[in-house]
Structure 1
């Protein structure tokens, strides 16, 4: 018995115990370090079904911030490429020649997209300068890891919120549309798929975008219909801070089969101390959530008081709803947000970032002070959420 005890080692750790340890590690990097201890741990870990690692924040220049522990990871981008958004664990990249692509930074798999900036400028006409700064939001009906042949819907905005929606299939721009072509008065703020259908949000109105199944190889947009009317005017859940005015920004998020309009309330100092940068000291102070009634035909938004076991990660370039029970360390009934203001995109993405608790109405820091690095993103692009898959590294 003594000889058997002396011959045992960490490599002999039983798989169920190894699984218990791995399931308590929200950081992908910590899981990689554990697997690297020895070959038996590495091979046994590959046989385990683990919860997804905690999301990261992409910081433009090929660096990623792990939200669970504040650790910085680097995965260099292709030469001359900048990140302007993401879908799950795929980055949306553009280059100096207006080339666009989606890339998985772990596997290096790449999906080519058409030159979207040129499509936007073509739709908007010659009145718009070719140097206009553009912002992108991409949405897919199915995860790209499951269906790389999926349609991709792209919302393109400029700082004045002039917008174009482009439908892409197999790297070809098959159709595009904007409000000028339709009997609408406003521009789109956000898009999202829910139940396989594409929806677009504009000033509280929700539109469904129908695509012809007859032209699946080259789908068109034959019909855009308003299905939920104007946003209800209600008093905010929390008053705007004194000597501030309230500005709002909506995020359209699919969550457990529901389509949510997540309203971010930002207090902007008034009168501003710096007329050249009125948003310099703006700060998020609350959120409100509304659900689109897609079943009864009431054409209304319903106020949502609870997200249940869901955690929302919202951003202008990527929003996603997760089951907190499946992600170690995630807080249920909470909204995770970062600084993604167009006018402050070159600042620390943690300068107006936090976790909003739907139950208490309290905002806590996205990272604790002892783990939060001081970030100064460099390079072109915009910070965005990134959702690594387990086993990617």
Structure 2
């Protein structure tokens, strides 16, 4: 028999469902939701009642130094925290050149003599896509290529600048597309280890160098520094190997503006061109092809409930839900961009805040969001690209 006046002990697992739902709604970060589900069985069950929100990108940086990369952190703009990333040994000291949803990254050596490519997952232990020897090395096979060096095997290697994925890298139909320092473009099918990379560009002076590539509606698209677009068809030849065919060249008929950077992304199922006019002003232009074949560029002034994450190695359009949030850190209809910084930012404490990532120096702008009339609001993250340092946006796996 309980003593008179004794207070009945209440357990966390006894909280009513409506209160648990209110708590879960405030757990916007993927990691907070994972901790919520780890409290007990009843909390884990309450987490399953609500659909998982789409994960938001993390800011991932690296140094290119094997020892320093042991202490890598990934910055979460959602809650402003630096999260520990246990980098596999095979990826330490590497240069990262691309990413795919779910924590997948493409990495290569900092030394151009060692151009081997690796595909691995940062959030799953010992998960690595098996690539054959021919797939780990991109070797120029352009018919018009000429090698002046005696060692043609070394001269024909094509160091990777950027890698994109057509699909999940574990699927047999995934195609890797790469911009290299030798060939303008290279493609390879992950699920076909017997196939080598198909390259294109050496000797094709009518095609300009590419600064960005993307898959849009299953078609490979390249962007030049001058703003021209190339649409490619990736098919198979009679031997079963991949073949790259230029389908169409779209001259730059968008407004002639001086740009710091240009990006291409898929926006609402259509191709979009993103222009960085200066450090904080962005224009988003959507490509519309009329039935007559005429090219029309439409200015996009709102991203609705999405946000753009732009960087030199990967750019992503991600849905951002602000329901139940009160911190105001990350917002919809915004552009979050990475920018290589030429000068030293350490002395500009009034302008930037250094993020403690344990790797390369990354600074977030103190001035907050930049907004101009008819321009989408933006926020910048700056980093020094020295001795293999780098940054990119990385979408983690859905933990809950």
The bucket for the TM-score relative to the shorter chain is: 0.7 to 0.9
> Contact 2:306–2:318 at 8 Å: present in 1 too?
yes
Shift of 1:337: 0.4
Shift of 1:379: 7.6
Q: Is 1:225 the equivalent of 2:239? A: no
**Using a 3 Å threshold, how does the CA distance of structure 1 residues 44 and 386 change in structure 2: closer, same or farther?**
same
Correspondences of 1:251-262 after superposition (within 5 Å): 251-262=263-274
Q: Is 1:138 the equivalent of 2:140? A: no
Deviations 1:286-333 (A, max 9, x none): 111211224532134333333233211111211111223378664232
> Contact 1:293–1:301 at 8 Å: present in 2 too?
yes
Correspondences of 1:97-112 after superposition (within 5 Å): 97-108=114-125, 109-112=127-130
Query: 1:311 maps to what in 2?
Result: 307
> Contact 1:248–1:264 at 8 Å: present in 2 too?
yes
1:210 to 208, 233, 236: 233
Structure 2, gaps ≥5 residues long: 63-68, 345-358
> How far apart are the structure 2 equivalents of 1:342 and 1:210?
38
Query: 2:318 maps to what in 1?
Result: 322
> Contact 1:228–1:300 at 8 Å: present in 2 too?
no
> How far apart are the structure 2 equivalents of 1:214 and 1:343?
49
**Using a 3 Å threshold, how does the CA distance of structure 1 residues 320 and 24 change in structure 2: closer, same or farther?**
same
Q: TM-score if structure 2 supplies the norm length?
A: 0.72
Structure 1, gaps ≥5 residues long: 237-245, 267-283, 368-373
> How far apart are the structure 2 equivalents of 1:357 and 1:382?
27
> Contact 2:139–2:197 at 8 Å: present in 1 too?
no
Correspondences of 1:64-79 after superposition (within 5 Å): 64-79=74-89
> How far apart are the structure 1 equivalents of 2:190 and 2:238?
11
Query: 2:331 maps to what in 1?
Result: 331
Query: 1:58 maps to what in 2?
Result: 60
Shift of 1:253: 0.4
Larger gyration radius, structure 1 or structure 2:
2
Q: Secondary structure at the match of 1:18?
A: helix
> How far apart are the structure 1 equivalents of 2:383 and 2:339?
12
Deviations 1:202-256 (A, max 9, x none): 22221211122677964322x212342224344x5xxxxxxxxx54211110122
2:39 to 37, 40, 57: 37
Q: Secondary structure at the match of 1:23?
A: helix
Query: 1:164 maps to what in 2?
Result: 185
User: Which range is displaced more, 331-340 or 29-38?
Assistant: 29-38
Q: TM-score if structure 1 supplies the norm length?
A: 0.73
**Using a 3 Å threshold, how does the CA distance of structure 1 residues 167 and 350 change in structure 2: closer, same or farther?**
farther
2:218 to 196, 216, 219: 196
Shift of 1:196: 1.5
- How many residues end up aligned between the 2 structures? 353
2:363 to 350, 368, 388: 350
**Using a 3 Å threshold, how does the CA distance of structure 1 residues 133 and 198 change in structure 2: closer, same or farther?**
closer
> How far apart are the structure 1 equivalents of 2:23 and 2:161?
39
> How far apart are the structure 2 equivalents of 1:352 and 1:121?
41
Deviations 1:150-196 (A, max 9, x none): 323322244xx973332333264544333335462411111111112
